[in-house]
Structure 1
């Protein structure tokens, strides 16, 4: 992976303020109950109440976010949010649903889609999600601890639009979900898919 540079927590702006934010050597963030990001598809509703700490992401750049959380609330989620505007965004990371931890992504262009696969073996791990922005796509990879990177998604994404990205959390069904974000970095985008 290319050389990375730490992004300061105060370099980002929240899409929606979390319940609490505590900065030590990490950033501990507690979500507001009912927070989520989704548009229309299958469920019919629109939620734009996620907590995402965003900084600019240019074509040719990548961002990585590392985190830990107690995965036990239905639809608890954390990862990376990449946003152009309210109708064009992507969230990628892990979500706890139906007693399983799932690794996946939601890509939204007017409506949202969702791809996910179980990674229950990651429940106790520090998880890192990496997004690389190409001229026509965002490439998502993830790993647990120092394990191998997994390709999660290749998603269409407008390279001509200004976009921002950064740490994400949401708690659609409960209060008290706290994520410990341990690292936020920027580097050059990955040049290969494989």
Structure 2
């Protein structure tokens, strides 16, 4: 009888030890979870770094739309045939940072110019010039043509072009994706 009592006591002890270990492990996991989750990026950061799909349907020729991607202003300009022609015939030797129009736009969709909306001189947001003549920086007077190339300083670089890829239908573009 005494031997049976000892065995029951031993089983209870083992059960309580296992239960204590389980509760302790659950407590440690619960306490560590906030620390582990704080080490990763938050939802806003993850969302900002993801590519941005932009619909181009309904954007009229001559119109510029603005979008924010990774905290940066992106200008998407639907160039008119006149703006495309002016950009293509620009004298490269007269440009401060020479670059062909074909290097700045997609060969398949030359009507779409996609640039970061910041003057490379001081980070100001350039305004569209009347009549589809490009952009002008309101702070220091840098001027950019219809391809986003600097034509008058103090800026010494063209408007930056973010990575982007057009969807096969040509009706939308993915900012933050490389052209295939």
For normalisation by structure 1, the TM-score amounts to 0.26
More strand per residue: 1
Which structure has more relative contact order (CA 8 Å, sep 6+)? It is 1
More helix per residue: 2
Rg (Cα) greater in structure: 2
